[in-house]
Chain A
Amino acid sequence: MNTAFILGFVILALGVLSVAFVRPKTYVARLINLEIPAWGLLLIMLAYDEALALMTFVAVTAISTFVIVRLMEWRDASC
């Protein structure tokens, strides 16, 4: 149990709660809040020694953010 593990759990729980109960109920705010638990999960995965999994997770999170932004523009419902 090192510091990054506990900190990752705290940030993950905080981020999940902030995505579930987002205060300005907009897609953009929810998408920005969705990046908080991703960093918490990254800190949890750091406690296990898998460098390739960490790199893949970071890359896939960025790609999914890009896809969701394009989807929001395509739906024209980004408000």
Chain B
Amino acid sequence: MIFELQVVFGLIALAGALSAALLKDPYAKLIALGILVSGALPFIVDRGYLDVAIVASLIAPISTIFVLMAVRRAET
């Protein structure tokens, strides 16, 4: 991959991880987790593992939905 693109996607992933670790609201944490996934997926695509990229990008929102169920139940 181009070096500048690696830096940009690495910074996106780091920003997602930092904000998911530091934010307190559970919904904000879930959104930051989405940013982390979007920063990590181009590295998987860059290695040529398109099947792994398909599986990861299908499963990550599903687990977000499961956690969202628990967050909604914990809020009420």
Chain A residues in the interface with B (C-beta under 8 A): 3-4, 7, 10-11, 14-15, 17-18, 23-24, 26-29, 31-33, 35-36, 39-40, 42-43, 46, 49, 51, 54-55, 58-59, 61-62, 65-66, 69, 72-73, 78-79
Contact = CB atoms under 8 A, between A and B. Distances in A.
Contacts of B20: 18, 32-33, 35-36
A35 B74 contact: no
A74 B28 CA distance: 25
Nearest to B28: A32
Interface of B: 6-7, 10, 13-14, 17-18, 20-22, 24, 26, 29-30, 33, 36-37, 40, 43-44, 46-47, 49, 51-52, 55-56, 59-60, 62-63, 66-67, 69-71, 73-74
B36 A39 contact: yes
Contacts of A32: 20, 26, 29-30, 33, 67
B43 A3 contact: yes
15 contacts: A10-B17, A26-B74, A29-B24, A29-B29, A31-B67, A31-B70, A35-B20, A36-B36, A46-B49, A55-B52, A59-B55, A65-B66, A69-B66, A72-B70, A73-B70
